[in-house]
Structure 1
């Protein structure tokens, strides 16, 4: 069960709440749990059961795929207020591939277990429509990520990532290591380091240990 604060957050974030019957609301509330994950902890993966519908309350999650050779590609990240239905793929018949989900920071989520989510989706058209919409939005993110990897030059991919990351955090300072950036853009750390040093030589940014600072956003945007 969840407390009143979590319930209020749930009502605010789930667009279908007002379309549920009283019985469906009771089913949902009695099957939602507040769970805390430590940074680096895996929530969902190949060897784990289908967990259900995830709503991020604080922190950040990374959704990615992993090749047999161990290379991973970040598909998208989830921040507070965002949801994931790919973690409920076992009741989403149109989803036929596995993703992994890790906590990028200490993260609190509200988790609707898979049984209740499946019952609500099957019994209420508004929940089903919501699930389709969230899945469609996420597949749009996935297609964008694949398009960047397949068709964009690495300079452009990295510039887009840095520009978006700056906008997302509302800061020109990006507190990520080269290893973390490489993970997010689907490349090797050495390639990221070399390209960042090139950007630094052009006066676009200033590198520091564990972070970087964008000092000329117009030049960065010209690369996009």
Structure 2
């Protein structure tokens, strides 16, 4: 290889690495913006972050395609939390800090994975219309991204809430299966607001402690990260 050819190859390699870093920054921006949108109940804007074949994994169910994504964010969340209003309403708190994001872009720069978490503070003020409540929530994201027409979009928003706790009692006294997961009876279209299919195996909340599989290998050894969930549900009877 001539010096010129070697230099051209080196430039091409550096451009590729720089492109991946630019991808990571754009994906991080999209993911963090999702957090800001969902905090303030900007559900229309949330839907616009998804690819045409996007989907959401939430409370044991999968909402598939743009129709499923809209069903969850617009028809369910917007109706339930903000009375059909696209935006915040008085007294409604739903903070979703986006934390510990690990972003991996595929070498062809067409797809990416995002693993992260959120620790939520949520509730309804006593002077607001509705039932006053306050709770803590922690969950993990296992997301997939795709470049669609040159723009990075969410292909899968996989949110696995791990624990809930009331503000008064905390998480140590959370009842088992405090937030029930989706069931066959709740699938769409039987339930007009339900998911299209169920997640297998069915997720369980705290005090279950399952590890959601890592989408990337061990960053030092390069070996697959194999979770041992054999003791994660010992206290459950079923």
- What interval of TM-score do these two structures reach, taking the shorter chain for normalisation? under 0.3
Structure that is richer in strand per residue: 2
- TM-score normalised by L of structure 1: 0.26
> Whose Rg is larger?
2
Structure that is richer in helix per residue: 1
